[in-house]
Amino acid sequence: MKFKWALLSLIITISTVLAGCEPVLVLNPKGPQAETTANVIWLSIATMAVIVIVVFTLLVIILVKYRASKQSEDYEPPHIEGNHIVEGIIVGIPVLIIIFLSIVSVKSTYEVESVPKGYEDQEPLVIYASSSNWKWHFSYPEEDIETVNYVFIPTDRPVEFKLYSFGPISSFWVPQLAGQKYAMGDMVTTIHLAAEVPGEYMGRNANFSGEGFAENIFNVTALSHDEFDTWVDEIHATAEPLTEEEFDRLLEPGHLGQMTFTGTHLDFSPAPEGEHGGHHHGSNEEDSSQEDHEDHEDHEGHEDHGHDDHGSNH
């Protein structure tokens, strides 16, 4: 009786706690990339649920059907050979499950890494998202705007975020719009997304990056095209320009509120891509060495030429 009441109390407590929890954002997608991720999660949950139910059902059947019973002291159980069909089933089914989940994972990975479905023919809005301790800087090169700790995007248009970091490795994550991706110091990574529903969405750094990690968050606001254009015009009419000195102050470790500027830091501190990218693999050093070697050969050639002239005059 005591066990019954204890179990009932536990169930009531768990139900009360879960009732007060916020919905899991990653399972409430507002864009095609996030929807792909949510579908994979639901499919994985359903697959695991089927496996658990089948395993526990078989366990109960085996425990009941083959439980120990009273036998005489001289009882010897019959010798049973292995069953190839059963062995094939218990090995083959897990292999098929792994193959199935692998195919789903690979297919969904390629989908979320590409331009969202239905938006292939549209020109994406390019935004450079750079992290520092412990804030996010969003640069709009086409609109000539930069924001700190918040970003506005138009709905029903593909958005291409180019990610990098001025500090430790961070992870850009907007659960309702896309999966997460690393922002690093010497290269640019790209993440594609699109918002199909206007609204405000939470974004954050999903990679531990020091004592200020917990508050390294930002807001993503999806607006209609007209509202987005109006916002751009208002920023150009009211915001102060971003200077190199001001940007250097923004990079200092600490937390900031939301800030807005005209111009971007890309003019004086370009992203690590193209000629400014990392991973040169010694190309500059090799070019310098080659130039030094050619200069040395030219110098030796001049010396030899002078020696020959001297010899001929002699």
- pLDDT mean over 91-113: 95
CA dist 54 → 47, 58, 59, 224, 244 (Å): 11, 6, 9, 48, 63
Q: Is the pLDDT of residue 199 over 80?
A: yes
Lowest mean per-residue pLDDT among 36-50, 156-170, 276-290: 276-290
Residue whose entry in the numeric block shows the structure tokens 């692998």:
102
CA distance 271 to 186: 9
CA distance 170 to 112: 19
What is the pLDDT, as a whole number, of residue 6?
62
Provide the 3-class DSSP secondary structure of residue 114: coil
What pLDDT digit, counting tens, does each position of 272-283 carry?
988 787 654 344
Residue, of 157 and 210, whose pLDDT is higher: 157
What is the pLDDT, as a whole number, of residue 15?
55
- pLDDT mean over 112-123: 94
What is the pLDDT, as a whole number, of residue 71?
75
What pLDDT digit, counting tens, does each position of 11-26 carry?
666 555 444 445 689 9
Q: Is the pLDDT of residue 65 over 60?
A: yes
Looking at this protein, which amino acid is placed at residue 160? E
What is the pLDDT, as a whole number, of residue 8?
63
- pLDDT mean over 91-115: 95
Which value, to the nearest 10 degrees, does the dihedral of the CA atoms of residues 23, 27, 31, 33 take? 150
pTM, to two decimals: 0.76
What's the whole-number average pLDDT of the chain? 85
